[in-house]
Amino acid sequence: MAAYNTISSFTRAFLPRASRLSRPRCAPPASCPIRSQSPRYLSCTVARRTENTDEERKWSTPLAKQLADAIMITGPIPLASYMRMCLTGDIGGYYTGLIEEGRDQFGLKGDFVTSPEISQIFGELVGIWFVTEWLSQGKPKKGVELMELGPGRGTLMDDVLRTIQNFKDFAQSIETIYMVEASPTLREAQKALLCGPDAPMTESKNGYHSVSKYGNIPIVWTESVRSVPDDPNNMPLIVAHEFFDALPIHAFESVKVASQPKSAPTGTPTSTPESSPSRSTAPATNDKDSGPTFEWREFVVSPTPPDATHASLNIPKSEQQDPIPDFQLTLSAAPTNHSRYLPESSPRYRALKHTPGSVIEVCPDATMYAADIAARIGGTPDRPRPRPAGAALILDYGPADTIPVNSLRGIQRHRRVNPLSAPGLVDVSADVDFTAIAESATKVSEGVEVHGPVEQAVFLSQMGIRERAEMLTRAPGVSEERAADIGRSWRRLVDRGPGGMGKVYKAMAILPEKDGKRRPVGFGGSI
């Protein structure tokens, strides 16, 4: 294959001058806001017991009632448990337990619009990125596996597969496509798009199976990444777009407490008027070494009091037209199991412990997925590989080099809502800790290195988004209206203004370790 000086010339040489006809028009940014960073509602409201009344409390959704009933038995639950139930619970989970018939989470008729829905070019460039990694790693003739974590409606993978048909040798090297998807409804939508609405889907102990309409490549759906086979002789090419932001987080705050005897009871995590997080109840001692110490306390979820008001919950004025949320965040009165070990898992967190009021967000699931990705690419002592091979591309939003804080958000019908309201009907997400992902990947496997994160605008620009858009607009038969739509769409993806997708969203790559001698395309490298 000929050498190309830039990825833009590479893209122009191989991608056809045709747009995806099924792409819906992109609405103006104001009508479909992205999930940008903003303050979270960490009100340290003192939890009050619900008084028995003759009339049973009415909850906004069946899932809200299930959560409230569970909390009545167990006490306040970690934020991570709340998020997990809201997103993937069996009873009315946002992705897994359809409450509203015909509901679609994605697109203009849903709750939010993602980059692949905005412009086909996004998925095309992800496909090109896979091709460049395949070229850089010796162009293996077989054993390539594509994997997507959280595929949504399948739009991204559809654009990837359509694009790589222009690279016959690469397309023929792909043995299997794995889609990690927990939602039965979304699995059906993905199958219809990638295989055809009438294509059969069979079930086995390994997952659900069908065949792609692009080159008859087998597609396997699994509910967990652990169900995806890990063949050490294969090359996994993995993409995770807006996947990590939906993983449950734990939130903690450092508090200053008086020293207490080691034999003193630790108490319960439930906040009470007598043990507010701002007032320590730890007994003073006469021990000569006694003095203030610092502890991590966990933010937990409990029902809002029946008489709660927007003001008492510190809800912003912009959301006071909405009903009172079903739940609230409170700070545990004593250390919890999670607060004892999760904030101690990284020196980044430990460095903040002695600063009272420091708030951190920790996502154990993210480190687990990062570790699995690293093991598949670089190998580990428990999962050895003959040599590192493969690549992973992570595209999501969050700070580039700081710990996320105050990032919990709720989105419904393209507008910001309280994330603790209408469980199962609201998309709940949080910023991604890219540094934690990098730490986990490099700690687990010595065979990988991490590049980025870089702003999405930088990644897409280096991949040739402008040049690809110009190809599409100049294609025969493209109307002025369609050309203008193409222009608006790609510019929105690289917008670096306040809250712009090109600035808020980041790209990170996990690759075989090369001692930093090779930078991948999109991260300062070239073919």
Q: What span, in angstroms and rounded, lies between the C-alpha atoms of 99 and 102?
A: 9
pLDDT per position as a tens digit, 391-425 = 999 999 999 999 999 999 988 876 788 899 889 88
pTM of model > 0.75? yes
Q: What span, in angstroms and rounded, lies between the C-alpha atoms of 198 and 471?
A: 33
Query: Is the predicted pLDDT of residue 10 greater than 90, yes or no?
Result: no
In this prediction, residue 102 carries a pLDDT of 58
Residue 7 binned pLDDT confidence (cut-offs 50, 70, 90): low
Are 318 and 416 in contact, with CB atoms under 8 Å apart? Answer: yes
In this prediction, residue 17 carries a pLDDT of 54
In this prediction, residue 286 carries a pLDDT of 46
The amino acid at 342 = L
Q: What span, in angstroms and rounded, lies between the C-alpha atoms of 151 and 194?
A: 11
DSSP H or E segment with residue 51: none
In this prediction, residue 89 carries a pLDDT of 78
Tell me whether strands 202-204 and 218-222 are parallel, antiparallel or unpaired. unpaired
% of the chain at pLDDT higher than 90: 66
Q: What is the DSSP letter of 253?
A: E
pLDDT per position as a tens digit, 436-467 = 999 999 999 999 999 999 999 999 999 999 99
Are 299 and 249 in contact, with CB atoms under 8 Å apart? Answer: no
Q: What span, in angstroms and rounded, lies between the C-alpha atoms of 279 and 312?
A: 19
Q: What span, in angstroms and rounded, lies between the C-alpha atoms of 231 and 383?
A: 10
Higher-confidence position of 257 and 50: 257
How high does pLDDT run on average in the chain? 84
Query: Is the predicted pLDDT of residue 23 greater than 60, yes or no?
Result: no
% of the chain at pLDDT higher than 70: 80
Which residue in the block uniquely carries the two structure tokens 């790559």?
509
The overall longest dimension of the chain from CA atoms, in Å, is 86
Are 86 and 94 in contact, with CB atoms under 8 Å apart? Answer: yes
SS3 352: coil
Two structure tokens written together for 52: 């028995």
Query: Is the predicted pLDDT of residue 278 greater than 70, yes or no?
Result: no
DSSP H or E segment with residue 447: none
In this prediction, residue 8 carries a pLDDT of 61
Query: Is the predicted pLDDT of residue 314 greater than 90, yes or no?
Result: no
For the beta carbon of residue 442, count every other beta carbon within 10 angstroms. Answer: 18
In this prediction, residue 472 carries a pLDDT of 96
For the beta carbon of residue 37, count every other beta carbon within 10 angstroms. Answer: 16
Least trusted range by pLDDT, from 99-108, 171-180, 279-288: 279-288
Query: Is the predicted pLDDT of residue 242 greater than 90, yes or no?
Result: yes
Query: Is the predicted pLDDT of residue 496 greater than 60, yes or no?
Result: yes
CATH no. of 115-244+364-398+433-512: 3.40.50.150
Are 400 and 434 in contact, with CB atoms under 8 Å apart? Answer: yes
Q: What are phi and psi of 377, to 5 degrees?
A: -90, -50
Rg (CA), the chain: 25
Judge residue 136's burial from the number of C-beta atoms within 10 Å of its C-beta, 0-12 exposed, 13-18 middle, 19 or more buried: middle
Pick from 433, 397, 364: nearest CA to 83: 364
In this prediction, residue 322 carries a pLDDT of 84
Q: What span, in angstroms and rounded, lies between the C-alpha atoms of 46 and 330?
A: 7
Per domain, the residue ranges of the chain are 115-244+364-398+433-512
Pick from 396, 341, 387: nearest CA to 364: 341
Residue 480 binned pLDDT confidence (cut-offs 50, 70, 90): very high
In this prediction, residue 111 carries a pLDDT of 53
pLDDT per position as a tens digit, 196-222 = 999 999 999 989 999 999 999 999 999
In this prediction, residue 99 carries a pLDDT of 53
Are 252 and 359 in contact, with CB atoms under 8 Å apart? Answer: yes
In this prediction, residue 457 carries a pLDDT of 98
Q: What is the DSSP letter of 112?
A: B
Query: Is the predicted pLDDT of residue 22 greater than 50, yes or no?
Result: no
Which residue in the block uniquely carries the two structure tokens 């294959």?
1
Query: Is the predicted pLDDT of residue 523 greater than 60, yes or no?
Result: yes
Q: What span, in angstroms and rounded, lies between the C-alpha atoms of 209 and 219?
A: 6
Two structure tokens written together for 288: 């000569």
Query: Is the predicted pLDDT of residue 34 greater than 50, yes or no?
Result: no
In this prediction, residue 11 carries a pLDDT of 61
In this prediction, residue 261 carries a pLDDT of 58
Two structure tokens written together for 93: 């989970």
Across 52-71, average pLDDT: 82
Q: What span, in angstroms and rounded, lies between the C-alpha atoms of 419 and 86?
A: 10
In this prediction, residue 310 carries a pLDDT of 86
The amino acid at 83 = M
pLDDT per position as a tens digit, 354-398 = 999 999 999 999 999 999 999 999 999 999 999 999 999 999 999
Judge residue 291's burial from the number of C-beta atoms within 10 Å of its C-beta, 0-12 exposed, 13-18 middle, 19 or more buried: exposed
pLDDT per position as a tens digit, 65-122 = 999 999 999 999 999 999 999 988 777 777 776 555 555 555 445 555 889 999 999 9
Query: Is the predicted pLDDT of residue 306 greater than 90, yes or no?
Result: no
In this prediction, residue 95 carries a pLDDT of 76
Residue 338 CA: distances (Å) to CA of 345, 349, 439, 467: 11, 13, 20, 49
Q: What span, in angstroms and rounded, lies between the C-alpha atoms of 205 and 222?
A: 10
In this prediction, residue 459 carries a pLDDT of 98
